[in-house]
Structure 1
Amino acid sequence: MDLRQLRYFVGVVEAGSFTKAAAQLNVAQSALSLHLRRMEEGFGTQLLVRDRTGVTLTSAGTKLMHHARIILRQVSLAEVELTSKIKSPSGEVTIGIPSGAARVMVTELLASAKERLPKVSLKIVEGMSGLIEEWMNAGRLNLAVLYRTVESPGAGKVLATEELCLVVPPGQPPFGNTIPLADLHLYPLAVPMRVNNVRRSVADVIAQHGCALDVRFEMDSLTAIISMVMDGKAYSILTPSAIQREVSLDQVRAVRIVEPTVQRSVVLATNPRDERSIEVIAVHALICGVVQLLARDGAWPTTLPEAELTVPDDRHSRVA
């Protein structure tokens, strides 16, 4: 028995004859008869009594008719619900975003979600990158913005590439616009804990070039790190996105690290169990569009992958 046989069975019963049902269902009368005979053979009982005036149900046929209507109704409801969800995703999606990235993308992301995905509820979990990665590995997030080395971005969608910079207190000469990597050891640093990706990215490059860092303070609080720099108590190594607000207010300065530059990839990872979730897929696409929008508008000082640079400049195209 399959759904087609059930539909044919109900069609014949409701039409009252094979001839009328064949015309209504647009199926040959011989095909209908064959399907009904196979159903009766499969159940091992007669379902219909056939005569010149049409068909009538046997007691077994009456029972099947009751179940068939329920089954077909449920199938129809499922089709409507799933089709509607594809057209208009709904549900809850939890996203982990590191503190630095959250500062530049959350406002735009929530505004775009309200416009483009009104039936999707976004839960934003903000924290230092090491914590976000732990939560993602524990399966507590549907999506996560993670940081990776440029050479090994790992699984996930590469959204952009960021450069790290030395964050210095305001009004402290003799800083220019750049500083060589080898000179970083001259400045006492307040940096994230060792599990943080910023710390790992810098440590890897430092080790490769035989340099050193003067780490005085370790803390997993972006706000506390920036406050220490603003107060002139330390320097730090962060991305421009993490301090964009303070730079615009002349509360700190960003000095580009060179010889060589220190870069990392911004990656959007999906929990493997959610890869086919309609709402997660929709939010994934939305995040990609928001990052492209912010990068092109200069709101996020970052570099997009080459494949993203040809995306049209229409606002709705960018976040669709």
Structure 2
Amino acid sequence: MDFRQLRVFVAIFEAGSIVGAAEVLRSAPSVLAHHLRNLESRAGGPLFERRSRGVEPTELGQRLYVHARDILRAVDLAEHDLRDARAEISGKVVLSLAYSALHAIGPAVLDAVIERHPRIVLDIVSTVSGATFDQIAASGIDLAVAYNPSRDAKLKLTPLLEEDSMAIGKPEILRETEEDLLLCDFLEMPYILPRKGARGRAVTDDPEHQRLLEAHARMFTDGVDAAVQFAVAGHGCMIASALYSERLLTGRGLIGRRLIDPRITRTLFLCERKDAPSSRAIGAVREIVVEKITEVIRNETWPCREVSGLRTAMPRDCAD
């Protein structure tokens, strides 16, 4: 297999047709078909099934796509790294941010990248909390800022911050008071909970606390919107971070109380694939993300606590 064959294959896979890939690559469909036949010969079987309106990848094609995309990404990174070793940092970086992180540091990260490294192309996507190696690999993500990622040996995880969770609901359910809410009392209230798994996420780092919350939940959801509607309609409560609660409580007739005894906490991590090639561009974005996380912790615009892993990950000028 050569790189040209792999680029042709990836283009056909993503375009869904040879004709569409030919337009992207500015080549004749017959040329692409020739490269595809040679690649299928090397792969030992058909990579696509021909349809009336294009092609559909076979199981063999789907498996090759994962490898081909990583191979071509590594080649592109190597080319950028060698070309830019003595020049201005450039290249594309795919950064995935959890919802809270997107709102807390997203604009600041984007501004810093544009100001310091104008030749970096930043692609920001949303992160599913509880991110797994497969999710990060399948999406071609270079850096992910996510809550409660899977403890996979293939992922490098750097803890960034820890935050407490709040119970959110109508005053008639939560009882309007400045006192914190005991977890045992919260468990007696009706509440909706994001379900842990492929469609949702855990709300806490502690597996025992997560199981306890799941055992008493009245409803489950795979998205925040349903939980908010549940709380606004007065059906019960939801759990949210202190940062998100500040936005959620505005204009909805809801109140919040911090959960204690035990506290329900979650940790935000910087996630990277150990087997993925790095680049100067990825390193530059990584430093900016850690820098901006450090800033919002220290100026207290994000209600949270710094964790030990953050200091070791800081750029030198941020650790002073």
Same topology, TM > 0.5: yes
Per the alignment, residue 303 of structure 2 pairs with 301
| Distance of 2:103 and 2:217 partners within structure 1 | 25
| 1:242-261 → structure 2 map (5 Å cutoff) | 242-249=244-251, 251-261=253-263
User: How far is the alpha carbon of 1:228 from its aligned partner?
Assistant: 2.7
| Distance of 1:94 and 1:289 partners within structure 2 | 18
Q: 1:232 aligns with which of 228, 231, 234?
A: 234
Structure 1 pair 173/272, CA: closer, same or farther in 2 (3 Å)? same
Per the alignment, residue 103 of structure 2 pairs with 103
| Distance of 1:156 and 1:255 partners within structure 2 | 30
Query: What code does the residue aligned with 1:90 have?
Result: S
Larger radius of gyration: 1
Per the alignment, residue 205 of structure 1 pairs with 209
Structure 1, residues 229-256: CA drift from partner, whole Å, max 9, x if none?
2332331112112232123556533311
| RMSD of aligned residue pairs (Cα, Å) | 3.7
| Distance of 1:186 and 1:204 partners within structure 2 | 17
Q: May I ask how many residue pairs the two structures share in their alignment?
A: 235
Per the alignment, residue 215 of structure 1 pairs with 217
Structure 1, residues 41-63: CA drift from partner, whole Å, max 9, x if none?
xxxxxxxxxxxxxxxxxxxxxxx
Q: 1:187 aligns with which of 171, 186, 189?
A: 189
Stretches of structure 2 that go unaligned for 5 or more consecutive residues are 1-78
| Distance of 1:214 and 1:78 partners within structure 2 | 52
Query: What code does the residue aligned with 1:291 have?
Result: I
| Distance of 1:206 and 1:80 partners within structure 2 | 47
Per the alignment, residue 169 of structure 1 pairs with 170
| Equivalent pair of 2:169/2:254 in contact (CA under 8 Å) | yes
Q: Secondary structure at the match of 2:290?
A: helix
Structure 1 pair 214/256, CA: closer, same or farther in 2 (3 Å)? same
Moved more, 281-290 or 88-97: 88-97
| Distance of 1:249 and 1:133 partners within structure 2 | 39
Per the alignment, residue 142 of structure 1 pairs with 142
| Equivalent pair of 1:98/1:126 in contact (CA under 8 Å) | yes
Per the alignment, residue 89 of structure 2 pairs with 89
Q: Secondary structure at the match of 2:89?
A: coil
Q: Percent identity?
A: 18
User: How far is the alpha carbon of 1:318 from its aligned partner?
Assistant: 4.8
| Distance of 1:152 and 1:214 partners within structure 2 | 29
| Distance of 2:206 and 2:254 partners within structure 1 | 20
Moved more, 106-115 or 197-206: 197-206
Q: Secondary structure at the match of 1:188?
A: coil
Structure 1, residues 168-198: CA drift from partner, whole Å, max 9, x if none?
2357524443111112222221221222443
| Distance of 2:254 and 2:317 partners within structure 1 | 35
Q: Secondary structure at the match of 2:106?
A: helix
> TM-score, structure 2 length as denominator?
0.61
Query: What code does the residue aligned with 1:269 have?
Result: C
> TM-score, structure 1 length as denominator?
0.61
| Equivalent pair of 2:133/2:152 in contact (CA under 8 Å) | no
| Equivalent pair of 1:290/1:318 in contact (CA under 8 Å) | no
